[in-house]
Copies of this chain bind each other. A is one copy, B any other.
Amino acid sequence: MLHLIKPSVRAQGAYTLAAPVARHKLNQNEAAEDLDPALKAAILERVATQPWHRYPEFTPRALLEQLGAHYGWDPDGILVGNGSNELIQAAMAVTLDRDDAVVAPAPTFSLYRLMAAVLGARYHGVALGPSFHYDLPAMLAMVQEVAARVLVLNTPNNPTGSTLTRAEILHALESTPGLVMVDEAYVEFGGESAVPLLAEQPRLIVLRTFSKALGLAGLRFGALLAHPALTREIAKGKLPYNVNLVTLEAAAVALGRADLIAQRVQRTIATRDRTMAALRQLPGLTVFDSAANFFLVRSSVMPATTLFQRLFDEYGILVRDVSTGAGLEECLRISVGTDDDMDAVIAALATLQGGTA
C-alpha cells in the first residue's frame, strides 16, 4: 500500500532520536534545571480540581493576555500550540502548496525540511558562511532565484548558535515578497528578537517555545506571533484543543514567575560563557561562537563519532553527534547543562584532547 504515500514523504527519513540514559544529558538543548518544586506543586494543585473529561478552553483568553504582556504583542495576534513545532507546521501548511519553495539556512533544525516534504514543497537550504555565521545575502539571492513563498530564519540557529540582528531580519522582510518565519526558540539566551518588528510587518511570523528557557519541554507549549489577520488564517491549519489543560495551567504559572525564569537563564548564560572559555584553552578543539544554550565543538584529535562515544562510555556525557549534517563535518553539539554537567564536560574533554582542565 506504500504507493498511496506521497513520494516526497517516502523519500524522507523519519525524525528519530536514540535516547540512551546518561548521567549528563546534554543532547536536546533542554533547560539545565527542572521547574521549581513549589511551582510544580502549584500547577498540579490547580490541575487536580479541574474536570479532565472536559475539552480544554477553545480560546485560552487569560493565557493569551498573559502571553501578550510577556512578549509585548497583541493577544489577538498570538496562537498557542502543543510546542512551537505544531505552529511551524500550521504556518507552513496554510501557505505552502505542492512545488512552492521554502528557503532556510543549512544546517538548521531538521523538522523544517521534513514538514516541507510532507507538503510537497521544494526546500532550499543555503549554506551558512565561515564559522557558521549567517550568509544573509546568499539566502536572499536564493529567495529571489526560486521565488520562495516562505523564508525560514532560526536565530539563534540550531545547531550552530548563529544569530541575525533585528536590522537584518527587517532587511530580509524588505527584500522578499513572501512570508518570513523567524523561529526564536533560543532567543532568551542571546540575539535580538524580531517581535518589535511585528507591528509594521504583516508578513512576519515569530515562533517562541516554552521547551528551552522556560523549562517545560515535557509539557509541550509554544506560541506563534503575527498580525491578527495572519494568525486567523494560520489557525485553520492547527487542530482545535491541541494544548491540554495541564499545559495551559503550567504555562500560566510559569509566566507568572518570569523572575525565576530570568534568573535561570542568567545562570545558563554564565555557565555557557565560562564553559566555552575553558574549552577554548584546550589543544585541538575548536569551539564555535554561540548565542544559544548549546554550542558546537570540533576536535582535531579524534573523529566526532569517536569523541561522542568516548564521552558517553567513559564519562556518562550524552551530547549530540551532528557530524553528518551539512557543513558540520566532525562537529558535536553540546547543550549547556548545570555547572556540575559542564565541569564534567570540561574535565572529560581536557583528558580526551590531551590538555589540562
Answer yes or no: A12 CB below 8 A from chain B CBs: yes
A246 touching B233 by the CB < 8 A rule?
A: no
Answer yes or no: A305 CB below 8 A from chain B CBs: no
B244 touching A16 by the CB < 8 A rule?
A: no
Looking at the complex, which of A27-35, A189-197, A340-348 is the stretch in contact with chain B? A27-35
Map CB proximity to B onto A169-212 as digits: 1 under 8 Å, 0 otherwise.
Answer: 00000000011000000000000000000000011000000010
Answer yes or no: A23 CB below 8 A from chain B CBs: no
Answer yes or no: A227 CB below 8 A from chain B CBs: yes
Answer yes or no: A217 CB below 8 A from chain B CBs: yes
How far apart sit A82 and B242, CA to CA, in the bound complex (Å)? 7
Answer yes or no: A83 CB below 8 A from chain B CBs: yes
Most chain B beta-carbon neighbours within 10 Å: one of A48, A53, A237, A240: A53
* 8 Å CB interface, A220-272 against B: 220, 227, 229-230, 232-233, 235-237, 239-247, 250
A16 touching B53 by the CB < 8 A rule?
A: no
A217 touching B53 by the CB < 8 A rule?
A: yes
Answer yes or no: A215 CB below 8 A from chain B CBs: yes
Q: Shortest 3 CB-CB distances between A and B: which pairs?
A: A218-B245, A31-B53, A53-B215
Identify the A interface with B (CB < 8 A): 1-2, 4-6, 9-10, 12, 14-17, 19, 25, 28, 30-35, 40-41, 44, 47-48, 50-58, 82-83, 85-86, 89, 93-98, 111, 114, 117-120, 149, 178-179, 202-203, 211, 215-220, 227, 229-230, 232-233, 235-237, 239-247, 250
